[in-house]
Structure 1
């Protein structure tokens, strides 16, 4: 076999391996994860018409039937957490829903956005959500992408009708594996203890 023929065969093998890896990674990324990208950033297609749903597309698009935690807050609001799972990239994704169980509509408070000026341009978000690891004595804040947008549901409607719901997700740095329970804190609600999966 000539050297030129061997080089051609090596290139063909390398191209086959690269194309197989590309197909595998594309199928893994396109598996309907609801908008999370490979770099941990999350997309959000927002509804800005102020309706009772006000959901942004993201990991919270499909929620299981049984919540792992439920707390009641101001004005008849009920915050449910459906999952808190660790991702391979060192993230922790919390998914849930807020339901207005009251008889009147609820105007979303600005405190839900958090106090940081750096995320003020995002508008309405769940950047005010934090996780507290009392065992490790640490507080975890919602992650930001490279444009300083919070990796959480954002740009949702400003009003939740009576009986309406608002689904959400939020990504945090994952606590150590030894931490199995954290407290979720969100303005207007008591602390909710959640188990990590």
Structure 2
């Protein structure tokens, strides 16, 4: 009989402990849910703080990504803007830009823009007269040629540029060593100008 009473007492204590544990677990779970539902959300659903930071950066980005890295005025009211000078795979350097006639009259491109080499004369008008000078490495780089001896640059363009019109151009050169970050661009009719390589 004593044994029976002892067993019933232990069973009662176990039941009370079980109920207490269930209440404690429920309270913890409920408290967590209440905290989540009552705390204000700092970002909209499906977005993160990183997303908001990226959005702000995009909104504040400049609207014109093609800002010149160099600008120089030449003869006859024309202006040369160099938009980029980037290294390409294969050891090349490509210079992109445009020449704009900022004068009030038409401008005729001089034959010197094409360079003095007779081998490229068959190509017609080109930018083969453009060179890059690496003063640190003491080297001059000329516009590359393809297998048919045509310069790897803008060519066969109209020699006449109307007032207010622009002539886009590119010219490809052998890339200077990786340690060279700046070169001087030289082109007939324009003062030498320094450009940064990317």
TM-score grouping bracket, smaller chain normalisation: 0.5 to 0.7
**TM-score w.r.t. length of structure 1:** 0.68
Where does the alignment leave 5 or more consecutive residues of structure 1 unmatched?
Answer: 1-62
CA distance in 2, matches of 1:155, 1:161: 17
User: Where in structure 1 do 4 or more consecutive aligned residues deviate above 2 Å?
Assistant: none
SS at match of 1:136: coil
CA distance in 2, matches of 1:131, 1:163: 28
Q: CA RMSD, aligned part only?
A: 1.0
CA distance in 2, matches of 1:196, 1:160: 29
Task: Give the structure 2 partner of residue 125 of structure 1.
Answer: 126
**1:181 lines up with 2:170 in the alignment:** no
Give yes or no for contact 1:142–1:151 (8 Å, CA) kept in 2: yes
Deviations 1:61-98 (A, max 9, x none): xx943100000000110000000000111000000000
Task: Give the structure 2 partner of residue 101 of structure 1.
Answer: 102
Task: Give the structure 1 partner of residue 73 of structure 2.
Answer: 72
Give yes or no for contact 1:64–1:82 (8 Å, CA) kept in 2: no
Give yes or no for contact 1:130–1:185 (8 Å, CA) kept in 2: yes
Give yes or no for contact 1:131–1:184 (8 Å, CA) kept in 2: yes
CA distance in 2, matches of 1:133, 1:64: 27
**1:91 lines up with 2:88 in the alignment:** no
SS at match of 1:103: coil
Deviations 1:138-172 (A, max 9, x none): 00000000000000000000100000100000000
> How many residues are treated as equivalent by the alignment?
135
CA distance in 2, matches of 1:136, 1:115: 25
CA distance in 1, matches of 2:148, 2:81: 29
Deviations 1:105-155 (A, max 9, x none): 001110000000000000000000000000000000000000000000000
CA distance in 1, matches of 2:134, 2:100: 26
Q: Report 1 or 2 for greater relative contact order, CA contacts < 8 Å, sequence distance ≥ 6.
A: 1
More helix by share: 2
Structure having the higher Rg: 2
Where does the alignment leave 5 or more consecutive residues of structure 2 unmatched?
Answer: 1-63
